[in-house]
Amino acid sequence: MTKCSVSALALTTPMVLGASMVFADDTAAPWDLLAAIEIEEIITDTTYEVRKVFPSAIENGVDQFDISGYLVPLSDGVEISDFILISDMGFCPFCGSPEHGTSLQVSMADPIVFEEGKRITLRGALETVTDPETWQTTVLTGAHAL
């Protein structure tokens, strides 16, 4: 059994949250909230399960969630609709290391022009991924650039 733990700081970061909105003046706060998701991988001889425990602020999803970061395209092209958002350009979500940091899959409402190295702020619906066979925890859907 392997357990991925989160820092006590991320779990205790105070946040003021509405029932259906998360707006963060501090750009790190949404990333801290996503990093606070607890994940436990359970492997037996016959089963595989990923248990996820979501912070109460996002456990039922969030209708309007604001987050800033950098785009990692999932396909070639100038206009993109689906990509991975990372908090820091130094994080590589495809390197295979569990130390790559938190990332968020994003699906835009309308395609945007990809500009490498440009920071972007998005607003969309944050949905939790409860599938017990994947480590993916959240996805941002119907997103718009702010």
**Is the full-model pTM beyond 0.85?**
no
pLDDT band at 116 (very low <50, low <70, confident <90, very high): confident
Q: How many domains does the chain have?
A: 1
Domain with residue 53: its CATH number is 2.40.50
Residues 6+ apart with CB under 8 A from 54: 37, 128, 137
Tell me how far apart the alpha carbons of residues 39 and 35 are, in angstroms, rounded to a whole number: 10
- Cα–Cα distance list, 112 to 4, 6, 106, 118, 143 (Å): 34, 33, 12, 12, 10
Average pLDDT over residues 57-79: 93
User: What does the pLDDT look like over 6-60, one tens digit per residue?
Assistant: 333 333 333 333 334 555 456 679 999 999 999 999 999 999 999 999 999 999 9
Q: Which of 101, 102, 98, 15 is nearest to 62 (CA)?
A: 15
For residue 139, the enclosing domain spans: 2-145
Strand 21-22 with 62-73, pairing:
parallel
